[in-house]
Structure 1
Amino acid sequence: MLLMEAREIAKSYGDRLIFEAKKLEVFYGDRIGIVGQNGAGKSTLMHILAGIRESDAGQVNWYGSTALIQQIDQEEEAKETTKHVRKRWGIAHIHTQMSGGESVRLKIAAAMEQQAPLLFADEPTSHLDMSGIRQLEEALLTYDGAVILISHDRELLDTICTRIWEVEEGGVHEYKGNYSDYRDQKQKKREREWFEYEEYRKEKERLTQAIIDTKQRAGEIRKAPKRMGNSEARLHKRKADGIRQKVERASVSLQSRLERLEKKEKPKEQPVVRFDTNAGEQHGRTIIQVQDITRRVETKTLFKRLSFSVRPGQKVAMIGANGSGKSTLLSMIYHQEKGIYTAPSSKVGYFSQMLSILDENKSIWDNVRESSSHPETTIRTALARMLFKRDEIHKPVSVLSGGERVKTALAKVFLGDYNLLLLDEPTNFLDIPTQEELERILAEFPGTILFASHDRKLIHRLADAVLSLDEERPVLFSGTFQEYLDRSKQPRPGREEERLVLETRLTDLIGRLSSPKLQPAEKEKLEQSYRETLRQLKEMGKD
């Protein structure tokens, strides 16, 4: 069932064409993701299709009502949501000082309750934690109608989308499938463009050389020698003229073929970053050691007696609900509060959501360059991969958008003279192309990374260890995010089984400690294990 159709729509700002689209259709059951770089016109397109803005040309027809989930920083939606809808989305009550997550949940609930056949959602995952995002996924998958959404969450786009509309270079291009399908199709398209360009280049070189050769042949055709008689000379001239005319016609034909040859532009090549850091320095077995730390905020305990260690070179994802203490823990590690140690050879780079490392009076280039020991070419290449064009690197930070500031702060951190990076939600406010470039750069970074994120794609592709602050007793899990999820699905032993395991371990430790042949180092290690096991048993006794 057709729910919406747009014909020959276009939008410009001044003399700049934002986009034009000949034909867009939405049917019942569609789940369409709109993607493109920041500033490409994604939100403008959505607002035109939703009927809250007008296009410069063309027409949009709707065959049913529509609902819209606005971005959180836009005008508030009506807050007259029913109690059962608020309960479903975890909104206990409506108040003036709502958090970002609560405001987003309220917008989603208000739009869902309208039960419109066509639902538009503009960045609905903003400020949601993983639990909220999974809840949103389920709601969008089961929505009775069609959904058109803009999102920087690649996992969300993979989970729900059946089609992708890409806003790029003034056009709207459709791809079948989810986001990964779109990326595969884009890659194949890029490979085809390279093939066609190489074929064009080879044919152009062949025709150009053939033209040169024929002209040279024409010039080499000699005139009649002076010793020839008149009749012989006339005969020679006729033959030479005939040959010359054939060669010249061949040259004209080749020139015509060259002019008719369809021009193929060279596809843009992605610059490659080559890191030259001290990340390979020896740190011993651990680069971060956290021992028995507790943090309370007012009446809430964020984490209690938390202990873990990070090995050099690990890329650790820190996950947890909003308010679980991820940002707090990163800040504590950076400031090396009591119970936290980093290796003496570590050089720590810290990216916080406050972006406090940026000097607003300086340019992008100056901010990044002043703290980096990398060659100029490496810095320029990395900035290009973060989609900063050549002249843009000299813009002052004070005039940058939120996303551009985030990119600048990230570049300053991972191009600084650091071998240990602490990153707090590094992909927030970044469009998908920039997220993917950041992901590649971080994957190539040879040092250690501890990062807090709700970006599941980033965690899946980057992390080789996971620390979940949602767990009752957080423990650093060595393994990929998928391995962590698979382990989390397995049934856990009951409390009595846990107690029995701990008591058995304690008995074994007591027996080993009673041995008179223990070396001092081994004895100290066993005593530490004994104290930790005893502590866990005491904690279980309090439950």
Structure 2
Amino acid sequence: MLLLEANRLEKSYKGNLILRQTEPLQLFSEDRIGLVGMNGAGKSTFLKLLTGTEDADAGTVRHYGSFSVVSQFDDVEKEINAKSEGVWDLKGKTYETMSGGEKTRTQIAAALEQNPDILILDEPTSHLDIEGMDQLTKVLTHFKGAVLFVSHDRVFLDMVCTKIIELDQQTFTAYTGNYSEYLIQKKQKDERKQFEYEQYRKEKTRLENTAKEKASKAKSMKGKPARMSYSEAKLGKGKLQGAKRSLEKKSKVIEKRIEMLDKKEKPVDLQKVEFNIQRFSVIHGKQALSVKELSVGFDQRQLFRKLSFSIKPGMKIVLTGKNGTGKSTLLQEIYRGNEKIIKSKQLKVGYFHQHLELLNPAKTILENVMENSLYDETWVRTILARMLFKREDVFKKVEVLSGGEKMKTALAKIFLSDYNLLLLDEPTNYLDLFTREALEDVLMAYPGTFILATHDRRLIEKTATHILELQPPKAIWFEGNYNEFKSSGVKQEKDETAQEEEILKLKLEMTELISQLSICTNESEKVKLDHRYEEVLSELRKLKS
């Protein structure tokens, strides 16, 4: 059933064209469409035009069903019922004290309670941990209506999407299938562009050489041949001039053919990232740092107790765990120093976090990155190009950059400075899909050691050699990549522990409900308590079965 259609939408801000819809959109029930594109391509703007939050300069939108919106920019408190609180693990939470992930879950729950025909979601995965994204995946997979959303999480796009729409330079291109299938189709399209460019270049070169040859031949016909007298040359002058004009005409015809060729632009070929090991500060020793029985907690909550692990030079460690388990806190402790953390004397620590204190707003992108760089300007600009800063972009002042551009600049500065241990706290926030893929390449090529806190599963899968999973008040150290960790007995043990904790939590809630029911005199309140008691009882039976 058709639920929404949009045609020829356009939007400009201050005279600058932001969006031009070049392909019509029809949204049917059970469609799962992901919008992808670089930062600033107009994805969020397109969703606003579809929902009427902003007016289009041109084009039409028609709705044939109800819709609910989840927006990354919406910070208004949402009211949800007790069932939603239980499903989304929000019971007893107040909006003022909620984390970013909890606020996102509240928005999703409120949108679903409206029972809409269409769900429109702008960056719903931004603040969710891996378990939150898995839960949202299941909800969207079983949702009866249509889903249109923007997300930069590639695993999420793979698991949910039936179609991808790419926004690129104000053009729309639709691809059937999920994100991985989109990449395959896009690669085939790029290969075709490369082939067409090569054919165009060969034909243009052939015609140019032919035109030059004929022009050169015509030019050489000005004088008489050496063996010919002037009187003989004079007699044949008419024939000579005729032949010359014929050659010149043919040269002009060929030049016209060159102008009429269907011009093909050369596809961009990104240079492979290879760090110069000779310039890199190597750690000569078995350990870069070691943590011995570190305990950290605050607000009467223990994040980790007697945490111990050792990091060898070259290790790529990824910190995993739910929101609020202490990943950022651990990175801060390593950076600031702690008597329980022993560092190699050769260790040089670079710390990336969301506050971007690394950058001087008054300086350009290139000036900021070159400040402490081990590399020359040519190589720095190569890395910046991989982070999608092209040509003159590198001369922009940091103060005029978007959030995503500042993130990319800070990351480039960290990678190219004189550090051999990087602490990276959620580096993918605000980064589009293409920059995330570029970040993967840089991390995989990086010769030093890093400790990375992220919820981006594809990034974890591609880069980790070791996993440190935080489960307050304990932690699990695993030698191996993320896929090995997921399939290991350690993962199974973690799941069983989490299930036992959930059963205990439900039992405590049931005890509290029984206590409240025994003293409650208000009939309507009693009905609510009784309803919740039945829900808890049902959840307990499912977990125990």
Taking structure 1 as the reference length, the TM-score comes to 0.84
Q: Which amino acid aligns with 1:163?
A: K
C-alpha contact (below 8 Å) 2:283/2:347 kept by paired residues: no
Q: Partner of 1:388 in structure 2?
A: 389
Distance (Å, rounded) in 2 between the aligned partners of 1:353 and 1:44: 25
Give the C-alpha shift of residue 455 in structure 1.
0.9
Give the C-alpha shift of residue 493 in structure 1.
12
Distance (Å, rounded) in 1 between the aligned partners of 2:450 and 2:230: 88
1:76 alignment partner, SS class: coil
Q: Partner of 1:538 in structure 2?
A: none
Q: Partner of 1:328 in structure 2?
A: 329
Compared with structure 1, are the counterparts of its residues 173 and 443 closer, same or farther at alpha carbon in structure 2 (3 Å cutoff)? same
1:61 alignment partner, SS class: strand
Q: Partner of 1:265 in structure 2?
A: 265
Q: Partner of 1:523 in structure 2?
A: none
Q: Does 1:213 align with 2:213?
A: yes
Alignment of 1:126-205 (within 5 A): 126-205=126-205
Give the C-alpha shift of residue 387 in structure 1.
2.5
Give the C-alpha shift of residue 435 in structure 1.
1.5
Compared with structure 1, are the counterparts of its residues 288 and 205 closer, same or farther at alpha carbon in structure 2 (3 Å cutoff)? same
Distance (Å, rounded) in 1 between the aligned partners of 2:35 and 2:16: 21
Alignment of 1:43-192 (within 5 A): 43-71=44-72, 73-76=73-76, 79-93=78-92, 94-192=94-192
Q: Partner of 2:295 in structure 1?
A: 294
Q: Which amino acid aligns with 2:317?
A: V
Compared with structure 1, are the counterparts of its residues 248 and 344 closer, same or farther at alpha carbon in structure 2 (3 Å cutoff)? same
Distance (Å, rounded) in 1 between the aligned partners of 2:348 and 2:96: 43
CA deviation profile, 1:35-63 (whole Å, cap 9, x unmatched): 11111111010111223222111211111
CA deviation profile, 1:247-304 (whole Å, cap 9, x unmatched): 3453343223222211112222324444235546243222121111111212111111
Compared with structure 1, are the counterparts of its residues 227 and 70 closer, same or farther at alpha carbon in structure 2 (3 Å cutoff)? closer
C-alpha contact (below 8 Å) 1:372/1:416 kept by paired residues: yes
Q: Partner of 1:479 in structure 2?
A: 480
Distance (Å, rounded) in 1 between the aligned partners of 2:102 and 2:283: 45
Distance (Å, rounded) in 1 between the aligned partners of 2:373 and 2:491: 45
Q: Partner of 1:449 in structure 2?
A: 450
1:475 alignment partner, SS class: strand
Compared with structure 1, are the counterparts of its residues 20 and 494 closer, same or farther at alpha carbon in structure 2 (3 Å cutoff)? closer
Q: Which amino acid aligns with 2:193?
A: E
Distance (Å, rounded) in 2 between the aligned partners of 1:130 and 1:85: 19
Q: Which amino acid aligns with 2:350?
A: G
Alignment of 1:493-532 (within 5 A): none
C-alpha contact (below 8 Å) 1:4/1:63 kept by paired residues: yes
Compared with structure 1, are the counterparts of its residues 354 and 114 closer, same or farther at alpha carbon in structure 2 (3 Å cutoff)? same
CA deviation profile, 1:127-178 (whole Å, cap 9, x unmatched): 2111111111111111111111111111111111111111111111111111
1:96 alignment partner, SS class: helix
Q: Partner of 1:372 in structure 2?
A: 373
1:482 alignment partner, SS class: helix
Q: Which amino acid aligns with 1:74?
A: D
1:474 alignment partner, SS class: strand
Distance (Å, rounded) in 1 between the aligned partners of 2:299 and 2:151: 35
C-alpha contact (below 8 Å) 1:283/1:344 kept by paired residues: no
Distance (Å, rounded) in 2 between the aligned partners of 1:95 and 1:251: 76
The alignment-based identity, stated in percent, is: 44
Alignment of 1:241-256 (within 5 A): 243-244=243-244, 246-256=246-256
Number of aligned residues: 490
Distance (Å, rounded) in 2 between the aligned partners of 1:493 and 1:339: 26
Q: Partner of 2:348 in structure 1?
A: 347
Q: Which amino acid aligns with 1:9?
A: L
Distance (Å, rounded) in 1 between the aligned partners of 2:309 and 2:336: 17
C-alpha contact (below 8 Å) 1:104/1:124 kept by paired residues: yes
C-alpha contact (below 8 Å) 1:283/1:346 kept by paired residues: no
Q: Which amino acid aligns with 1:336?
A: G
Q: Which amino acid aligns with 2:326?
A: G
Give the C-alpha shift of residue 365 in structure 1.
3.2
Compared with structure 1, are the counterparts of its residues 245 and 374 closer, same or farther at alpha carbon in structure 2 (3 Å cutoff)? closer
Give the C-alpha shift of residue 494 in structure 1.
13
Q: Partner of 2:433 in structure 1?
A: 432
Compared with structure 1, are the counterparts of its residues 219 and 397 closer, same or farther at alpha carbon in structure 2 (3 Å cutoff)? closer
Distance (Å, rounded) in 2 between the aligned partners of 1:401 and 1:216: 54
Compared with structure 1, are the counterparts of its residues 302 and 84 closer, same or farther at alpha carbon in structure 2 (3 Å cutoff)? same
Give the C-alpha shift of residue 442 in structure 1.
1.4
Q: Which amino acid aligns with 1:117?
A: D
Compared with structure 1, are the counterparts of its residues 490 and 40 closer, same or farther at alpha carbon in structure 2 (3 Å cutoff)? closer
Taking structure 2 as the reference length, the TM-score comes to 0.84
C-alpha contact (below 8 Å) 1:3/1:26 kept by paired residues: yes
Q: Which amino acid aligns with 1:122?
A: D
Give the C-alpha shift of residue 421 in structure 1.
0.7
Distance (Å, rounded) in 1 between the aligned partners of 2:37 and 2:70: 19
C-alpha contact (below 8 Å) 2:325/2:472 kept by paired residues: no
Q: Partner of 1:515 in structure 2?
A: none
Give the C-alpha shift of residue 318 in structure 1.
0.6
Distance (Å, rounded) in 2 between the aligned partners of 1:190 and 1:116: 38
Compared with structure 1, are the counterparts of its residues 398 and 210 closer, same or farther at alpha carbon in structure 2 (3 Å cutoff)? closer
Give the C-alpha shift of residue 489 in structure 1.
7.7
Q: Partner of 2:12 in structure 1?
A: 12
Compared with structure 1, are the counterparts of its residues 389 and 192 closer, same or farther at alpha carbon in structure 2 (3 Å cutoff)? same
C-alpha contact (below 8 Å) 2:302/2:472 kept by paired residues: no
Distance (Å, rounded) in 2 between the aligned partners of 1:359 and 1:237: 75
Q: Which amino acid aligns with 2:11?
A: K
Distance (Å, rounded) in 2 between the aligned partners of 1:47 and 1:488: 46
Give the C-alpha shift of residue 472 in structure 1.
6.8
C-alpha contact (below 8 Å) 1:291/1:339 kept by paired residues: yes
Q: Partner of 1:407 in structure 2?
A: 408
Compared with structure 1, are the counterparts of its residues 416 and 212 closer, same or farther at alpha carbon in structure 2 (3 Å cutoff)? same
* RMSD, matched Cα: 2.5
Distance (Å, rounded) in 1 between the aligned partners of 2:215 and 2:407: 59
C-alpha contact (below 8 Å) 2:95/2:103 kept by paired residues: no
